[in-house]
Amino acid sequence: MDIVIDEFEAITKDAERVQRETLRRILEDNTSAEYLQNLGLNGRTDLESFKALVPPVTHKDLEPFIMRIIDGEASSILTGQPIKTVSLSSGTTGGKPKFIPFNDELYETAMQINLISSAFRDREFPIKKGKALSFLYSSKQFKTKGGLTAGTFSTNVMRHEKTKSMVKQMEWCSPKEVIFGPDFQQSLYCHLLCGLIFSEEVQLVSSAFAHSIVQAFRTFEQVWQELCTDIREGVLINRVTVPSIRTAMSKLLKPNPELANLIEHKCKGLNNWYGLIPELFPNTKYIHGIMTGSMEPYVTKLKHYAGDLPLLTGDYTASEGCIASNVNPNLLPELATYAVLPHSGYFEFIPLSESQQHNGGSTLPRVDPQPVGLTQVKIGEEYEIMITNAAGLYRYKLGDVVKVMGFHNSTPELKFIRRSCLLLTINIDKNTEIDLQVAVAAAAKLIASDKLEVVDYTSHVDVSSEPGHYVIFWEINGEASAELLSECCNCMDKSFLDAGYTTSRRTNGIGPLELCVLRRGTFQKIQDHMLGFGATAFQYKTPRCIGPRHRAVLQILSENVMKSYLSAAY
């Protein structure tokens, strides 16, 4: 592992040279691509020609080219070599998954970033001869109209031939039949069961996202007695029906009344499930998964389950490629930064000044800022990221806003701030995912005194009547009084501090905020719906704003509203 860290230190000390070499290699490999030829690049690989001739783009700009690939056109459209595999984004932002080209170069980058972050973690938290309770889920791949293999990015990585050859070497609690199982709920149940069987050997609890870990142990609260019965009797519960999973689990599951009694004793002795994870798995060193960005709302509950165990956030990756590694694992999740890998793609950063982020109502003409290179970013400034990767994305806007917190050698360390798209806006109001998160967190403190918590939340802009208004959907873990929920509604309304929102509320340009309290299990229904449309549990993220493209999700929400409250006059 020292060799991996030494190599990372070397490339980050000369990040500018590595970036230019990375761009040169990408352009050289794809010089025959129709897209680059049409732009007049004509085989040039220098940075100056690239920036002068290739425009910044969004997915919408490249979609016609990608769809030709999806339909099976064999020519070199975006890349020199034909694309044979495509990834699907999670679909939680735009309402439906996007197709994104995937190739072996992106796979290798994913392996590299995992190797680097693992080396830094192992240096601080060494794991020897232990197992990982990893809540891994791999959805199925399918064939597109043109015969390409399609799946989520994580699925394409996990089902890659090289990964398959590594599966037997990995010390996971769960057999591959559970990881690659076709039913999410059955796989989740068996992950928990496998973890309990190997409870003394577990040294790491992980998943791709904090949400998946929290979801797993919320499920444990409901099914722990059934798990104990399975262990006591050595027979798998009838709810698991997939033959391959049952066969694999039968090889692990033997009658063990002593272990079942121990687990039962531990569960009965816990106070509101605090410290559940170290209680069940006493040799666990840390908990690992992405805990920043849209995962931040789950960190509080994860800390509750973790007790005193360290929480280590995962790397900064996207369906479009791997971007940055967590090389400071000792930092708390809320302070986490990511060091950009200068050889994983060519990166540019669009400066976002305060005026550019909040210029609603301005009469001044908009001036688009010029992107800067990886080593030209400034500490304390916010930027939107553009990536050029080896799979046919050139100057592609990821839609992520990051803040530069410092440098690791000459490569920047980034803090993920938010998605660049606005979530909630009716007229001149501009509220982002962070603004929504702050408002919900402020109101959630009001119910915490009653030992209640917000299980999950989302939002919607209702313009079906005048004036339009914000709707916030909550699922909470118990019963709260109407007076308390009404107070929460008022609190959220007052917590949106955007000038456009507060002004519009005062002038009745935006109506009272509406808080809708949902039946328990509503967000599980939403997840099940999204998984049915090709998303995978491994990279699932709750959509924080339900727009026009989420009609089915909005219907699920509407059908499960138990109570609703409107905020008071502003």
Q: Are 131 and 119 in contact (CB under 8 A)?
A: no
Residues 233 and 337 in one domain: no
Residues 556 and 537 in one domain: yes
Last residue of a domain, one of 419, 443, 471: 419
Q: In what order do the strands lie in the sheet with 321-325?
A: 316-318, 321-325, 338-340, 411-419, 396-408, 382-388, 346-351, 372-373
Residues 229 and 286 in one domain: yes
Residues 235 and 301 in one domain: yes
| pLDDT tens digits for range 103-140 | 989 999 998 898 899 999 999 998 888 899 999 887 77
443 within domain boundaries: yes
Residue labelled with tokens 């909550």: 474
Q: How many CB atoms lie within 10 A of CB 453?
A: 15
503 within domain boundaries: yes
Domain with 57 in it: 2-105+316-419
Residues 321 and 189 in one domain: no
Distance CA 565, CA 323 (A): 42
Q: Which tokens sit at 61?
A: 């700009």
Region 210-215: mean pLDDT is 92
Residue in 537, 535, 538, 294 with CA at minimum distance from that of residue 419 = 294
Residues 323 and 305 in one domain: no
291 within domain boundaries: yes
Distance CA 501, CA 480 (A): 28
pLDDT at 360: 42
550 within domain boundaries: yes
Long-range contacts of 62-65 (CB under 8 A, 24+ apart): 62/392, 62/393, 62/396, 63/98, 65/34, 65/35, 65/392
pLDDT at 311: 96
Distance CA 369, CA 483 (A): 48
- Work out the pLDDT band at 361, boundaries 50, 70, 90: very low
Cα→Cα distances 2→118, 340, 499, 509, Å: 11, 19, 51, 60
pLDDT at 314: 92
Residues 465 and 550 in one domain: yes
pLDDT at 98: 84
Q: How many CB atoms lie within 10 A of CB 291?
A: 25
Residues 220 and 338 in one domain: no
| DSSP codes, 110-156 | HHHHHHHHHHHHHHHS---S-EEEE----PPPEE-TTS-EEEEHHHH
Per residue in 454-485, is it b (16+ CB within 10 Å) or e — as a string? bbbbbbbbeeeeebbbbbbbbbbeeebeeebb
- Work out the pLDDT band at 454, boundaries 50, 70, 90: very high
Residues 364 and 404 in one domain: yes
115 within domain boundaries: no
Q: Is pLDDT of 94 > 60? A: no
Last residue of a domain, one of 309, 329, 351: 309
Distance CA 225, CA 263 (A): 9
145 within domain boundaries: no
Residues 239 and 371 in one domain: no
Last residue of a domain, one of 419, 441, 456: 419
389 within domain boundaries: yes
Region 332-344: mean pLDDT is 94
Q: Work out how many domains the chain is built from and give that number.
A: 3
Distance CA 153, CA 116 (A): 19
The 3-class SS string of 57-79 reads ECHHHHHHHHHHHHCCCCCCCCC
Q: Is the peptide bond before 467 cis (omega within 30 degrees of 0)?
A: yes
Distance CA 214, CA 300 (A): 10
pTM above 0.95, yes or no: no
| DSSP codes, 443-458 | HHHHHHTTT--EEEEE
Residues 234 and 335 in one domain: no
Distance CA 481, CA 447 (A): 10
Residues 448 and 541 in one domain: yes
Mean pLDDT of the chain: 89
Q: Are 566 and 489 in contact (CB under 8 A)?
A: yes
Q: Per mean pLDDT, which of 277-291, 420-434, 529-543 is the most reliable?
A: 277-291
149 within domain boundaries: no
